[in-house]
Amino acid sequence: MKIWLLSHSEELKKTTGTGRLVKDVLGQQCDIIVWSRVAPSEAILHLSPTNTLLIYPSEKPEQTDTDDDQLNVDNIIIIDGTWQQARKIYNQSPYLKIFKHHEITAVNSVYKKRRNQKNQGLCTAEVAIHLLNKYQHPATAILFDRFTAFNQ
């Protein structure tokens, strides 16, 4: 499994961003892609729609999956930014709409560094921890511990 963090450029400037934690723990199993409206990432464009999952709710309920048992894919895209930034990235990136969407539900955020803008909205590290746990990935505990220390 590879995690692709499609990050808003402003997110990378913030000391409260958790995408770097994910990258630090996962190393080569995670790529941070700085989103650009006018120059989409070639790496993202070449991902297989049948083997890639976008962690983002879809406007089309039939395209969004909330069943964690359906997470068997090789590539997972997480939009890394505030909810307003994530909405902008999604709405201005038509190529993202080809991927099956997955929405994490019934999990509450414990992130304290910023005010959450959406009920049940998780920060990037929390999303990654949730996914790694579902895949029984060996780095789950390491990322959880790093996030817990960061979140103090």
Residues spanned by the domain of 24: 2-150
pLDDT single digits (tens) 6-45: 999 999 999 989 999 999 999 999 999 999 999 999 999 9
| Separation between Cα atoms, residue 126 and residue 107, nearest integer Å | 9
Number of domains in the chain: 1
- Written in H, E and C, the secondary structure of 2-44 is EEEEEECCCHHHCCCCCHHHHHHHHHHHEEEEECCCCCCCHHH
Amino acid at 72: N
Nearest to 3 by CA among 129, 136, 152: 129
Residue 64 pLDDT grade (very low, low, confident, very high; cuts 50, 70, 90): low
Residue 68 in this model has a pLDDT that exceeds 90: no
The mean pLDDT of 118-133, rounded to a whole number, is 87
Residue 112 in this model has a pLDDT that exceeds 90: no
Q: Average pLDDT, whole number, for the chain?
A: 90
Residue 116 in this model has a pLDDT that exceeds 70: no
| The pLDDT of residue 65 | 63
The mean pLDDT of 55-82, rounded to a whole number, is 76
